[in-house]
Amino acid sequence: MIDESRGKDTPETKSLVERRDFLGGAATLAGTSLLGLSLPAGAQAAETLQDRMPPIAPDKMTDAQKKAAEELVAGPRGSLVGPFAPLLRSPEFLSRLQKMGAYLRYNTKLGSNISEFIILVTARQWAQQFEWDTHDSLALKAGVKPETITAVAEGRRPTGMSADEEIVYDLLTELRQNQSVCDTTYSRAINRFGEQGVIDMVGIAAYYSMLGMIMNVARTPLPPGKTPPLSLFPH
């Protein structure tokens, strides 16, 4: 059953609009975001990484960029934040991708708890600070237990997951590590979620992997004053 509440305004989504409101101007978000880069512990606190692809001021946008930005702002996201700032450099790509993303985030039948859990597992795999900062509170609100979120953040397999979360975690972890999924893991996922559910599940992970890769390359920063929530994996 589709969780209709995901398309409505929440305190979290309103906060995101306030952080970087496209309609209110294109102020660059300042702050430190490590975004998966391996730095010595002492350098992490001192190092400020420059946003390589900051928001484009409306008066500097091409017609294609304005159209893509207006299209996105008119949708459920309401503002041009996070990965969509660098994506605006390729407006047709942004336009096509955000429509697919709207389905994967808001309209699958997986439920917001599973969708948000998938997003957190993916954000952790990419050490994607902005993605995690945006979705950890949404996952908590959707019913993912705090101890599960903490374990994922720390790179540990959570104990006490729900049966559905275990299926999702095993499938996505196995897929990432082995570039394939064994028959047992596949059968468990199919029996619980069906073929469409499994495709949508992998689609969410792939979509947020793409956003994570884009933000890691662009060094998209956290909102001002935020501390990177994820520790970095050794390289």
pLDDT in tens, 134-187: 999 999 999 999 999 999 999 999 999 999 999 999 999 999 999 999 999 999
119, pLDDT greater than 70 = yes
**SS percent in the chain: helix, strand, coil, step 5:** 60, 0, 40
Q: The whole model's pTM is what?
A: 0.77
Span 191-208, average pLDDT: 97
What does the block give as tokens for 89?
Answer: 């450099």
pLDDT of residue 121: 97
Q: How confident is the model at residue 231 (pLDDT cuts 50, 70, 90)?
A: confident
68, pLDDT greater than 70 = yes
Q: Name the residue among 189, 15, 220 with its Cα closest to residue 118.
A: 189
Please state, in angstroms and rounded to a whole number, the distance separating the CA atoms of residues 94 and 139: 25
Third-level CATH fold of 112-216: AhpD-like (1.20.1290)
State pLDDT tens for residues 20-56: 333 333 333 323 333 333 433 433 433 457 899 999 9
Report the length, in residues, of the chain.
235
Domain boundaries, the chain: 53-107, 112-216
Q: Name the residue among 166, 154, 147 with its Cα closest to residue 127.
A: 154
